[in-house]
Amino acid sequence: MKTDRIAVIGERELVLGFKLLGIRNVFIASDKDVKEIFIKLMISKSYDLMLLSEDAKDVFDGKTLYLAESSLKPIVIFIPSLIAHENYEPLEVLVKRILGVEIWATK
C-alpha cells in the first residue's frame, strides 16, 4: 500500500509521529473538528487506510462511529492517544506491532 493512500487524524503529537515515518497525509484535529475532518476525508474516497486517535470515539455521534467501525474502504483503525488510558497498548508498542518499526529507540 502506498503511503499516499493512508491518512492519520488526531492530536499533534500523534500525527507528527506518523509523519516522521513517511505518512504525508496527516491532519491535526482537536475535539471540535475531528468529526468534520473525518467526514470530509471519507467523502473524498482518496484513502485506503485511516488511522484515528482513540479519543475521536468520544466525540463521534453514533452514526459517525458506526460509519468508522463498519467501513471497508477505507479501513478505519482507532489508535491510542499519547495520553495514557487504562487497558490500552502503549503507542510505541502498537506502532512496532503494526508497522514493524521502533520509533522510540533506547540507547
The better pLDDT of the pair 28, 1 is held by 28
d(CA 37, CA 18): 17
The Cα diameter of the chain in Å comes to 46
If residue 8 lies in a helix (H) or strand (E), which one and from where to where? Answer: strand 6-10
**Taking the domains of the chain in order of start, what are their residue ranges?**
3-82
Residue 6 cell numbers, joined: 493512508
pLDDT at 44: 94
Question: In this predicted model, what pLDDT tens digit does every residue of 59-86 receive, in sequence order?
Answer: 999 999 999 999 889 999 998 876 655 5
pLDDT at 25: 95
Q: What length does the chain have? A: 107
Question: In this predicted model, what pLDDT tens digit does every residue of 6-30 receive, in sequence order?
Answer: 999 999 888 888 998 899 999 999 8
Residue 103, CA atoms < 13 Å, CB-side half-sphere? 19
pLDDT at 62: 92
pLDDT at 63: 94
d(CA 15, CA 20): 9
The verdict on pTM exceeding 0.75 is no
Is 3.40.50.10580 the CATH number for 3-82?
Answer: yes
